[in-house]
């Protein structure tokens, strides 16, 4: 404790050690010295999220895909559609199967041969938000009521894990669904439904759906994770900040500003004032993410037109 106190004193250990060594030996003290100046180790303001980019159509073999970078965190979402027989309880709906993957290449904390503990948690959180937000109308995935519908296999791959993994994953999922294009299908003589490709297929087969189409998306969910340390609220924490700060809150608001989800996985007691502040930051972040997503869609349309 005394060593840590000396490390934080002006002219003490921090002045004699290399910054990186001090950062590793006393991570909490290092972070708190920055927070007292209302700045973070990566020079961001406390309420500032990292630069975010969205690239649609990152996987050519998928029906919908997107690559998202949130600072140094990178996520790749891909959607493959397959025809299935719908369950009896929902004969006029399709379905979505969500899987979140964290391969060893994404972080030194992920060991080969051992599934990452965070992966099933994020998978479940993504599925819950998709189903509860109203973004997807599963009836649009129906082909022939009671006989055939689409199942959307949604796979999200964490390529680099540097904090706010759920945020980056959900942004990539939303982007992939905006890029998703429903393929043409036909019914064979045996009653089997199959996909049809190319202009030749349009004339050769009797089609169930005449044109490829996009899904009509409802209110889109936009996330923001905040790390809470004493009186400081840090938007979009890095992996380093997450390893130091125990308490975090993830807020998901839809594009109409309504609260879709709020998660607080463990940590200390959080005041209602802090929760309201996180929601306020999430509203601002949602507007920015909406602009980023719109810009990526427009950029893709320009590329396709050229």
C-alpha distances in Å from residue 247, one per residue of 12, 48, 250, 267? 30, 18, 10, 4
Q: Residue 258: its pLDDT value, please?
A: 93
- Flag whether pLDDT at 208 surpasses 90: no
Q: Which of 232, 297, 263 is nearest to 164 (CA)?
A: 263
Q: Residue 160: its pLDDT value, please?
A: 97
What mean pLDDT, rounded, does the chain reach?
A: 86
Q: Are 274 and 249 in contact (CB under 8 A)?
A: yes
This prediction's pTM: 0.87
Q: Of residues 168 and 19, which shows the higher confidence score? A: 168
- Flag whether pLDDT at 5 surpasses 50: no
Q: Are 29 and 4 in contact (CB under 8 A)?
A: yes
Q: Residue 203: its pLDDT value, please?
A: 45
């Amino acid at each position: 404790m005394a060593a840590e106190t000396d490390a934080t004193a002006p002219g003490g250990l921090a002045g004699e050690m290399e910054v990186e060594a001090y950062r590793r030996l006393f991570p909490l003290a290092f972070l708190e010295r920055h927070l007292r100046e209302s700045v973070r180790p990566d020079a961001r303001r406390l309420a500032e999220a990292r630069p975010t980019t969205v690239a649609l159509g990152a996987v050519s073999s998928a029906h919908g895909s997107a690559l998202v970078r949130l600072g140094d965190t990178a996520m790749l979402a891909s959607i493959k559609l397959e025809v299935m027989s719908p369950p009896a309880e929902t004969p006029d709906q399709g379905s979505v199967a969500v899987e979140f993957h964290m391969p060893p290449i994404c972080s030194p904390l992920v060991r080969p041969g051992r599934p990452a503990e965070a992966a099933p948690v994020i998978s479940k959180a993504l599925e819950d938000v998709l189903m509860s937000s109203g973004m997807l109308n599963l009836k649009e995935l129906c082909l022939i009521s009671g006989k055939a519908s689409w199942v959307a296999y949604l796979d999200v791959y964490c390529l680099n894990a540097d904090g706010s993994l759920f945020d980056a994953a959900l942004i990539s999922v939303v982007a992939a669904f905006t890029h998703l294009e429903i393929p043409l299908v036909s019914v064979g003589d045996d009653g089997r439904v199959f996909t049809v490709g190319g202009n030749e297929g349009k004339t050769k087969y009797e089609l169930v759906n005449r044109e490829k189409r996009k899904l009509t998306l409802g209110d889109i969910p936009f996330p923001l994770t905040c790390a809470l340390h004493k009186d400081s609220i840090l938007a979009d924490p890095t992996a380093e900040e997450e390893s130091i700060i125990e308490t975090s809150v993830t807020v998901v608001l839809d594009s109409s500003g309504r609260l879709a989800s709020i998660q607080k996985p463990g940590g200390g007691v959080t005041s209602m004032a802090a929760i309201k502040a996180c929601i306020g930051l999430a509203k601002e972040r949602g507007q920015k993410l909406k602009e980023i997503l719109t810009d990526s869609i427009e950029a893709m349309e320009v590329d396709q037109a050229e």
